[in-house]
Structure formats: structure tokens, C-alpha cells
Chain A
């Protein structure tokens, strides 16, 4: 009975926590970027105002059922992924293979975005989606190699076991236990988050926001929430794999904030790479470092 209660509590609390944290991160990102640019910037709760405005718009232009379905699929995919990632002690749906499940579920969001963009009937959306998928091809190679290295090193495919293997002391964290995969994932973190220098998929000045070009009103609200959830998922994965997860929610949030702030600082000062430049970078050093980490992990095992 106790475990069932914990399970239900986790299933309810975790998405709420993820939403709250991700919207807070959006606000933090805008505020910190503003301060880096030596101006005041909007308040921390500005994304809440934005989402309220978008949801209360009296007119919503839809481009057909596939458009609606794509956005809902992306948002639902994000929510489902969230409950599989342990967050500071909460892990309602942990099984032995949940790392692989997360890696698969992370592709639902771009798929939903592609469906919606394809139904948009706008060439900017098609260009944005093709760039998004090519970029995903770019960062999936080093990221999957790193994931494989981590799974080999800890001899498990369960995220909860990866987190608990890092409990103990700071020196047992992933950054010290598997340094090469940690470095490789850190190098592709901006690409996974979709921030500069890898925000070519949603370039506002160039292709008019890419996949989100035809989204307004409640569709944009859902797309914004889905983007925020995606940030949460990527940062939470990084924290769980390489920074020891979190003993409780407070330390987990602190670590997520630290990683996110590093991402915001990179985003604030970097220009944008073109798609072929991004691909060339992602498949060179991060992939080589991840491959090296995998070789080291296999060699250390046997």
C-alpha cells in the first residue's frame, strides 16, 4: 500500500514539479540573459504572463487535425518522458530498462513538432523541421555513445541504479567516474537544448521561427510548454547521469539550476552556427571523446 501511494504521489507530483521548474527556467533564462546584456529584463514570472496571454487569445488558427495532433503529441511525449527520469528521490516509473525507454521517448517531441510543421503548409516550417532533424542526427551520435559508455560502466540500463551508483561522495559523481562521456555530453548540451550556437532550427531572423511559424494562441502556448519541458528533460538527464542526481528535491533543483545557468551564459555570448558547421563540430570532437569514453569503459570492465 505504501509503495502504491508513493507511486501515485510521484506520478502526480513529478509532472507538476517539471512544469513549475521548466517555466521558472524560462524566466531565469530571460532574466539572466538580460543581466548579461546589462539591462534589467522582464520579471522572473514573465513566461507565466506570456502563457496566460497565449491561452486567452480569442482566435486560434488551426491548420487541420494533424496540426493539433502534432502539438499535443509533442507535449504528451514530453510529459511521459518526465515521469521516467528520477528527480531527487522521486522515481515512480523506474524499471530495469528505463534509460532506453527515455532515449526513445525523447524522440517523440521532435516527431510531434514535425507533424505540426508539416501540416502548417508553410515552407519556413519545413525548413525548420528538416534542420531540427539533421541537428538531432548530429547530437544523437555523441550522446548515444556517451549513454552506452555510462551503461557499460555502471552495468545497468536503469537510471535509478545509475543515480544510486553515484551516491556516496562527490568523487563518485559521473564527471569523475566517467569523465570522457561527461565531457562529450557537456559539449553537445547546447545542441540538445536548442540554444546558441545550435539554435539554427528555430532561427527567428532567418526562417521566421522555423517549425513554430504558424503557431499562435493556444498552440504556441503548448509549444512553449513543450520546449520548456524538453529543457527540463535534457538538464535532468545530465544531472542524473553525471552529477549524482539529487538526494532530495532541493539538491536536485540546485544542480539543475547550475547546469542551466551555464547553458544560459553560453547562449548569451555565442553566435549561431550554420547547419553544416554544427554537424561538422558535433561529429568530430564530441563524437571522438565519447568514443574514447566508450572504449575506456569497455576496457575497464573486462
Chain B
């Protein structure tokens, strides 16, 4: 199945989904938050059996966080990205652990770095940071330079 065929299959079954093939080997599907689980089920049934990563983009001007689920199909060697947007204030989303069990670690990292709560994830405890106080550091309102200067006494670069 080529990327165009996959795009057609998704567009047929989920009309609210915006699908694009930016270049060979890539497939991007954007969907409102209610449709993400159905989209992931669809992709998994179509051969995308491997969840590689869950990443997050902070659209601070639009007031939204974009969750990107990176899926890989070994058979067709296509990298699919399922995207959805959630609100930036007290972000909550469902956990996809029933679909991909190892999503637990990625959701734990996003909880720590962006503050997103994933309902259904049993282990949203700190992983990388050590007794962190303050807002989640990957959010754009976090002042990285000021924090580094105050905590560690960093020197400004000469230029």
C-alpha cells in the first residue's frame, strides 16, 4: 500500500480528518481531540503497529498544545504522524495505553515536561527531573535563561 492509498483510506473512513503526504514516506493526519483514538485504531489496523514516540508542540499564541503520535509501518516503511490539539490551560487527554502499552513512558515524560494529565496512565510520576518546583520546563512561558542564571549562576555568552 502506498502513502496515497493510505491517505485515501483514512479520508474515506474519517472525513473530519485532514490527511496530507508531504513527501514520500511520510503521512500526516490531523484530527480534533475526540477522533484521535479512532484514528490510531485505524492506523494500527492498516499496518502501523509500532508507536515510536509521542511528542508535543507548544502553540503559545494560539493557546493550544499539539500532541503528535509518531507511528511506523515496517511493511510499507511509512512514518505516520497523528496530530491533535488540546487546550493549554490545565491540559488533559486520554491515555492510549490500551492500544500501545509502552505509551506509558512517553505520556509520563509529557506530563513532566508540559504538564499534560493523561487519564488512565497509572504512573504519572517524575522521571527525569529531580524534585522539580516550578512550571513544566518545556512550556514556552518558562524563562529558561532566567532559571539557569538563578539556579546555577550561568554566565552570558560574549556574543
A/B contact in complex, CB under 8 angstroms: no
Q: Name B's A-contacting residues (CB within 8 A).
A: none
